[in-house]
A = this chain, B = another copy of it.
Amino acid sequence: MPSFRAAVLTVSEKGARREREDLSGPALASRLQDAGFRVEARAVVPDNEEAIARELIRWADEESLDLIVTTGGTGFSPSDVTPEATLKVLDRETPGLAEAMRLSSLKKTPRAMLSRGRAGIRGATLIVNLPGSLKGALENLDAIIEALPHGLEKLRGDPSDCGG
């Protein structure tokens, strides 16, 4: 597989204030590297729609990364707005990725149905919302990571037929 360039965005109020260690971000970066991705950026932003959107736009439009995964802010708390920020910056939603992650997590816990994560494309960048918990984030990434390279190749404009 060609080497895809990825970034991890941790969305956490306490993380952004350095009151809590970001466990999910480094673990996701490590998992992506194990799967062959080059992780070129990481950041922690608070639960703020503008702050989240700004980072996603910068990484997509200026850095042209292939993949951005976010962790955190996908739940029911009043401050959880990662999916809303993501929907605002997406050009084309990829609902099957979000469905597949929840479907996989539902086999472990009914609480998986509470995840409000979204996924989709901005320009040539795929953006995927993962839960904030270390366990949930890794499980969700694992549920889709095998299918991602084919999608990312297409996104780059690989003209080979896939019948999509």
Contact = CB atoms under 8 A, between A and B. Distances in A.
Contact of A113 (B114, B147, B157, B162): B147
Contact of A77 (B114, B133, B164): B164
A81 B92 contact: yes
A163 B136 contact: yes
A124 interface: yes
A155 interface: yes
Interface stretch (A28-36, A38-46, A56-64, A98-106): A98-106
Contacts of A94: 76, 114, 116
Given A80-B154, A83-B93, A92-B116, 4 more contacts: A96-B115, A100-B106, A132-B164, A133-B162
Interface of A: 24, 72-78, 80-81, 83-84, 92-100, 102-103, 106, 110-116, 118, 121, 124, 126, 131-137, 144, 146-147, 150-152, 154-155, 157-158, 162-164
27 contacts: A24-B163, A72-B163, A72-B164, A75-B162, A75-B163, A76-B126, A76-B151, A77-B155, A77-B157, A77-B164, A80-B164, A83-B93, A95-B118, A96-B102, A96-B115, A96-B116, A99-B99, A99-B103, A103-B103, A111-B147, A111-B150, A113-B147, A132-B163, A132-B164, A133-B164, A134-B163, A135-B163
